[in-house]
Amino acid sequence: MGELAHPLALRAHHLLCLLGFRGLGYSPEFVETMGKVAKDLHPKSTFPITLLAECDVICASCPHNKGNQCRKKANAESKVRAKDREVLRRLGFEVKAEMPVAEAWGRIKERLTSSDIAEICPRCQWRELGYCAEGLERLVTGK
């Protein structure tokens, strides 16, 4: 894929998914996009982002995206939007808030723990791997 848009529009809960990304995903294209976004939005990056509760650049590479709506399961789009809004609420950001990604990482460090991930993502297939909670821990400890 080419260069990422500035600012990069991102589903709010994808910040948490990026923390846990270890090369797994729904398709090779999805994994390539996640890898590119994760590389550019590293913990010290000042890359500008806009936080959304709708499909984003990662969804655009996902086989579950049909017509710019998440169709992973019945009612998936409304459930994912609720997840995005819950992340925004816990971080104290409005929908469409724009900031350097480092500010979002800083807010996540201040406000979230692995319990929040368990509460925000109770039914996610990836959560039981523990990668997202470990990614959050790495962000917090800087290790």
| Site residues for ligand SF4 per CB under 6 A | 13, 16-17, 20, 55, 58-59, 62, 64-65, 70, 72, 76, 80, 117, 121, 124, 126-127, 132
The CB density around residue 87, as the number of other CB atoms within 10 Å, is: 25
Of 26 and 47, the one with the shorter C-beta distance to ligand SF4 is 26
Decide if 47 contacts 100 (C-beta within 8 A).
yes
Backbone angles phi, psi at 77, to 5 degrees: -60, -45
Decide if 124 contacts 70 (C-beta within 8 A).
no
